[in-house]
Amino acid sequence: MGHEVGENDLAQRLLIAGNWKMNGLASHLNEGRAISEGSRAFAPQLDLLLCPPATLVRTLRDQLDDHVFVGGQTCHHAEKGAHTGEVSAEMLRDAGASHVIVGHSERRADHGESSESVRSKLTAAHRAGLIAVVCIGETLSERETGKTLGVLETQLAGSLHDDVSADDTIVAYEPVWAIGTGKTPSTDDVAQVHAHLRGKLIERFGEDRGRAIRLLYGGSVQPANAATLLAVPDVDGALVGGASLKASDFLAICEAACNCR
Ligand code: PGA
Task: State how far the Cα of 159 lies from the Cα of 102, in Å rounded to an integer.
Answer: 9
Among the listed residues 77, 120, 68, the one whose alpha carbon sits nearest the alpha carbon of residue 99: 68
Would residue 150 count as lying in a domain? Answer: yes
Report percent pLDDT > 90 for the chain: 94
Catalytic-labelled residue, pool 99, 104, 126, 194: 104
Would residue 1 count as lying in a domain? Answer: no
Model pLDDT for residues 27-84, shown as the tens digit of each residue: 999 999 999 999 999 999 999 999 999 999 999 999 999 999 999 999 999 999 999 9
Catalytic-labelled residue, pool 90, 106, 142, 174: 174
Please give the residue range of the domain that contains residue 159. 7-260
**pLDDT given for residue 3 in this prediction:** 39
Task: State how far the Cα of 139 lies from the Cα of 156, in Å rounded to an integer.
Answer: 15
In angstroms, what is the span from residue 14 Cα to ligand 1's centroid? Answer: 17
Number of domains in the chain: 1
Give yes or no for residue 196 having a pLDDT over 70: yes
Using CA atoms, how far residue 96 sits from 61, 62, 70, 106, 160, in Å, is 6, 8, 7, 24, 24
Cβ(242) to ligand 1 under 6 A?
A: yes
Q: Which of 15, 183, 190, 240 is the best mutation target for the ligand 1 pocket, counting ligand atoms within 8 Å of the beta carbon and taking the most?
A: 240
Using CA atoms, how far residue 225 sits from 61, 231, 244, 255, 259, in Å, is 29, 10, 14, 12, 13
Using CA atoms, how far residue 237 sits from 16, 30, 208, in Å, is 5, 24, 19
Would residue 2 count as lying in a domain? Answer: no
Task: State how far the Cα of 150 lies from the Cα of 40, in Å rounded to an integer.
Answer: 40
What CATH number did the domain enclosing 151 receive?
3.20.20.70
pTM of the model: 0.95
